[in-house]
Structure formats: structure tokens, C-alpha cells
Amino acid sequence: MAGEQRVSTDYGRVAVVMGGASAEREISLQSGRAILTSLLKSGVDAVGIDTQYGLSGLVSEAHIDRVFIALHGRGGEDGSFQGALSCMNLPYTGSGVLGSALAMDKLKTKQVWRTCQLPTPPYVEAASLDGMLALSDELNFPIALKPVNEGSSIGISKVTDKTSLSRAWPEAAKYDVSILAEQWVEGDEYTIAVLNGQALPTIKLKTNHVFYDYEAKYSSNETRYICPCGLSPETERSLHEMALKAFSVLGCSGWGRVDFMIDKVGQVWLLEVNTIPGMTDHSLVPMAAQQAGLSFDQLVLAILDTSFESKVS
């Protein structure tokens, strides 16, 4: 799974970019610090760089050979940073420009999946509350109201009728001009991490919250992560195949995470792909890697290995 065996000097000087200016800045800083600590522990020559004010910190740092991207959200996970690094001829971890941009855009993700006949909940998209109120008749309440370009469940609300839709709209609109309304799925939520072309063990998520929201992800000690997930080996193999396809058709590569639901009648519904998942002490990819026999330090090096791969542009 880790691919070619490398020694620490093979990586050269590694910049771990973190922070940025997105709504997920604080989580990115946590991820970046954990990654940097791990790389230094493994003997890699690494330096942490906060990109809150753009590329200046990266440009001014001498002799960077490759970049470990620990940025979450806009400006780091949406292809723009990947494009800048490509122009600088700097190898970097994870997906390229295309995969990053498509996966960050929930609307484009769903459109690609539908074209490829992959199951994703029905949806409508609008740029105004009046437009969404008119289109909401195409779905059955409850629905999930989501900013199209945002992560970590930021700005998402469960909406039960048009009145609550009107109340929830400003929260979603704070983060994007394009808002997605997706049919609410009642059932169990799962996630599958992808690493170097392979799926890691499936994790089942259980929360006392209405859904797996920002607090449940990063601060609640009551969220339960079940791995092994309890599904049959045959079912899990089928889900792994679907996750790998859902990941690859978006042009994603290297590593990431595919989130999905299984409803009460057993139908699988793909929700989204995260191309730079969290690497905090509450994060899912390290949990799945541990179940697969990889320590956190081994996982970090395996992700860094993805910087040697050519990118889909």
C-alpha cells in the first residue's frame, strides 16, 4: 500500500502547507501540525508554512523539493493551490487541479456521478432564496441545504419545510452564492478512505446530532466511529469498488475520502469526496489506516509518496 520503499532523504525538503484563509483554517492548522510533527519524527527535512496570506511564505522558503498539502476548503482544496504549485514545478500530495476542483464543487460532483450512473441523492441548485423555494417542490422534505463549495459540514442545515428553508438560507448563503438542496437520506452514514489506489476499511459513523456536523466531526467526544463497520465482507467489497470508482471518475488521485449513506432499505447514496481529509486526533483517515495496520507515521509517509505521481490536469 505504501508503494516503493523510500528513505527520508529521498523526499528532499518538504513544505507542509496549512492554515490558509478558508472557513476550515483552524482544522487545517491542526492537521498540518500533526503531519509536520510526524514527518520530523520520521527524519524527513520538513518545514511548516501557513498560507493565510498567500504564497509568499512558500516562495520565500529556500530549496523546497515537494509540498504536503494540509489545506482544507477553498484556496487549498479546490484546485487553485494545486494549479499554482504546478506552475512552480513543485510536486505535491493528493489530487491534481481537475480532481480537486470537481470534488470541491458538490454540484459538479453529483453531475459527474449521475452521468456515470453512480447513485447520489436527488437535488436542486439555486442562487437565490426565491429560486430555491420554487425548486424545492421537486424534492420531498426533509432536505439538506448545503453551500456548493464548502467542507467540514460548514453551512449545512436539515430543512423540514419551506419556513425552515427560509430560516436556514442565510447560514448557507454566508459561504457561497450557489446553494444545493439535496434529498435527506434517513439511514446510516459511512466513509471509505482511499490511499494509493486502494480502499481502507469502512468506518460507520454514529452521532447524537441531527447529522455528522462540524461539532460532531471535531469536538464531540460522543461521536462513535465503528470499524470494523459491521457490514458483511461481500457488502464491504462492493462498497469499496463503488468508492474507488466514485473517486476516480472525478479525476481524483493519491488519497482522499468518500462519504456515503445507506438508507433503511439498503440503498447506497454517495454524498461527496474529500480530497484533503482532516488529519487531526478526531479524523477518519488515520482511524481507517490504523485498522489496516498502518501507524499515523506510516500513513503520513504513504500520503507524501503520492507527490511522486503524475497528476491528472
Decide if 113 is inside a domain: yes
**137 shares a domain with 79:** no
Residue 114 burial (CB count, 10 A): 13
pLDDT, residue 214, reads: 52
The question of whether 33 is a catalytic residue gets the answer no
The question of whether 274 is a catalytic residue gets the answer yes
**113 shares a domain with 235:** yes
**69 shares a domain with 35:** yes
**277 shares a domain with 217:** yes
pLDDT, residue 42, reads: 97
The question of whether 25 is a catalytic residue gets the answer no
Count of CA atoms in the C-beta half-sphere (13 A) of 280: 16
Catalytic entry in 92, 259, 305, 307 = 259
Task: Identify the H or E element spanning 162.
Answer: helix 162-173
Rounded to whole angstroms, the Cα distance separating 61 from 65 reads 11
Catalytic entry in 11, 19, 20, 24 = 24
User: Is pLDDT of 291 > 70?
Assistant: yes
pLDDT 10s digits, 220-264: 566 789 999 999 999 999 999 999 999 999 999 999 999 999 999
- At 4, the pLDDT band (50, 70, 90 cuts) reads low
CATH assignment at residue 159:
3.30.1490.20
**168 shares a domain with 90:** no
User: Is pLDDT of 288 > 90?
Assistant: yes
**207 shares a domain with 240:** yes
> Any alpha helices (H) in 42-123, and if so which ranges?
56-60, 80-87, 97-104, 106-115
Catalytic entry in 105, 272, 283, 307 = 272
Catalytic entry in 50, 278, 305, 307 = 278
Q: Who's near 30: CB < 8 A, 6+ residues apart? A: 278, 279, 280
Task: Identify the H or E element spanning 187.
Answer: strand 187-195
pLDDT, residue 97, reads: 97
pLDDT 10s digits, 171-211: 888 888 899 999 999 999 999 999 999 999 999 998 765 55
C-alpha cell at 246: 466514485
User: Is pLDDT of 270 > 90?
Assistant: yes
Contact (Cβ atoms closer than 8 angstroms) between residue 52 and residue 105: no
| Higher-confidence position of 39 and 150 | 39
Catalytic entry in 38, 150, 218, 305 = 218
CATH assignment at residue 279:
3.30.470.20
Decide if 192 is inside a domain: yes
The question of whether 123 is a catalytic residue gets the answer no
pLDDT 10s digits, 89-140: 999 999 999 999 999 999 999 999 999 999 999 999 999 999 999 998 899 9
The question of whether 42 is a catalytic residue gets the answer no
* Domain stops at, among 166, 183, 200: 183
**Residue % of the chain over a pLDDT of 70:** 92
**229 shares a domain with 110:** yes
Rounded to whole angstroms, the Cα distance separating 23 from 154 reads 8
Catalytic entry in 274, 283, 305, 307 = 274
Contact (Cβ atoms closer than 8 angstroms) between residue 46 and residue 297: no
Residue 50 burial (CB count, 10 A): 18
Q: Average of pLDDT values for 131-155?
A: 85
User: Is pLDDT of 216 > 50?
Assistant: no
Lowest mean pLDDT among 21-30, 181-190, 216-225, 295-304: 216-225
- At 152, the pLDDT band (50, 70, 90 cuts) reads low
The question of whether 138 is a catalytic residue gets the answer no
Distances (CA, A) of 34 to 3, 38, 78, 138: 22, 6, 22, 44
Burial class of residue 6 (count of CB atoms within 10 Å of its CB; 0-12, 13-18, 19+):
middle
Rounded to whole angstroms, the Cα distance separating 139 from 153 reads 21
- Domain range for 146: 123-183
Catalytic entry in 25, 66, 74, 257 = 257
Domain total in the chain: 3
Q: Average of pLDDT values for 213-225?
A: 61
